[in-house]
């Protein structure tokens, strides 16, 4: 008859803390809270469709609706809203002139939200021209290319307008060279020292932005004839590169950025980790539209558990070093975290 092995083997039993919920919580290395969530919101005029076919569960909100979502976000404890406008085609042109209209949709939304909520919730305004150009690019086109310096000249004016209208954070997402230093100098000269800059320093030219471009109506790039304008590879980062992202982030911090963004999120967690480890600055990640849509559609077809996969995804961002996560799941995640 064989005797059972001695009960002292093995001496180290890593399963011990895993036995109960309370003990797993006690030794958990990564924490996720509502404070980590940033809610992107698409805003629209009253006569624009709310539906975003490519993003189930996400919609465009009118001004009144945005106020109600902001109220809900405050109750849930979400600290920051990121606003993105859907601009009607009638207001778009090649230069993106609507971006400099003090009364454009985004600026009106900033004014109203700041008036109604004060400092109870933070407001972030995206700084780029793609919602306003009829070609869908983030910059001004000259001679078949994106003109970097002329675009920066427009962007710093746009950033000042957003700040004056109530933005607590301006977030240049255009990837033009030198725009952080120019915007910081312009804000300071306008006595807007308190306004923070979150730089999309590591924004990659990914194929996963498609649903977002549908949401803001900026999807015409592929129809352009000029070879340098058929995509955004001349200004967004090459998906093959990591050191370049570190260089971009270092430059933007030196030029006055307060925070760094890595975008996309799930596919670029290695970049997020390395930027956070090297620079030790506030670093954020964007759970982008394509990543969100894959999860949502898989869940709707019964292939994945939406809530469990959503929370696991958010933990992945935190584990990689994210100080905050831009995610279309923010409201759902906040409600789930409150229940837990």
At 283, which helix (H) or strand (E)?
Answer: strand 283-287
The active-site residue, picked from 92, 156, 263, 318, is: 263
Place of tokens 């030219």: 205
Compute the distance between CA of residue 206 and CA of residue 263 in angstroms, rounded to an integer: 9
Compute the distance between CA of residue 96 and CA of residue 324 in angstroms, rounded to an integer: 30
- Residue 203 known to be catalytic: yes
Tokens of 291: 């990543």
40 close to 23: Cβ distance less than 8 angstroms? no
SS3 assignment, position 312: helix
- Residue 230 known to be catalytic: no
Number of H helices, E strands in the chain: 11, 11
The active-site residue, picked from 92, 156, 203, 232, is: 203
Compute the distance between CA of residue 155 and CA of residue 159 in angstroms, rounded to an integer: 6
Compute the distance between CA of residue 164 and CA of residue 172 in angstroms, rounded to an integer: 16
Positions annotated as catalytic residues are: 203, 263
């Amino acid at each position: 008859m064989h005797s059972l092995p001695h009960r002292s083997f093995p001496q180290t039993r890593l399963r011990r803390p895993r036995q109960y919920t309370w003990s797993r919580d006690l030794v958990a290395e990564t924490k996720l809270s509502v404070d980590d969530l940033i809610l992107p919101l698409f805003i629209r005029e009253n006569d624009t469709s709310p539906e975003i076919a490519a993003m189930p569960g996400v919609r465009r909100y009118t001004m009144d609706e945005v106020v109600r979502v902001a109220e809900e976000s405050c109750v849930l404890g979400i600290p920051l809203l990121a606003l993105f406008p859907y601009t009607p085609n009638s207001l778009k042109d090649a230069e993106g002139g609507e971006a400099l209209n003090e009364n454009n949709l985004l600026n009106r939304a900033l004014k109203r939200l700041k008036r109604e909520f004060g400092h109870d919730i933070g407001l972030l305004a995206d700084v780029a021209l793609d919602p306003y150009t009829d070609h869908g690019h983030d910059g001004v086109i000259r001679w078949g290319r994106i003109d970097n310096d002329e675009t920066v000249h427009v962007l710093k004016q746009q950033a000042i307008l957003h700040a004056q209208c109530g933005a607590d954070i301006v977030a240049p997402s255009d990837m033009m060279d030198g725009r952080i230093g120019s915007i910081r100098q312009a804000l300071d000269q306008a006595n807007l020292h308190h306004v923070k800059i979150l730089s999309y320093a590591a924004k990659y030219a990914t194929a996963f932005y498609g649903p977002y471009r549908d949401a803001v109506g900026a999807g015409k790039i592929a129809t352009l004839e000029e070879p340098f304008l058929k995509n955004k590879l001349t200004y967004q980062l090459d998906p093959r590169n990591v050191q370049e992202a570190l260089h971009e982030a270092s430059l933007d911090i030196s030029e006055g950025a307060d925070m760094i963004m890595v975008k996309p999120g799930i596919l670029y967690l290695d970049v997020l980790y390395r930027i956070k480890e090297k620079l030790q600055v506030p670093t954020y990640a964007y759970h982008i539209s394509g990543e969100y849509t894959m999860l949502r559609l898989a869940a709707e077809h019964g292939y994945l558990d939406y809530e469990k996969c959503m929370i696991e995804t958010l933990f992945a961002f935190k584990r990689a070093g994210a100080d905050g996560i831009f995610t279309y799941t923010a409201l759902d995640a906040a409600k789930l975290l409150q229940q837990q």
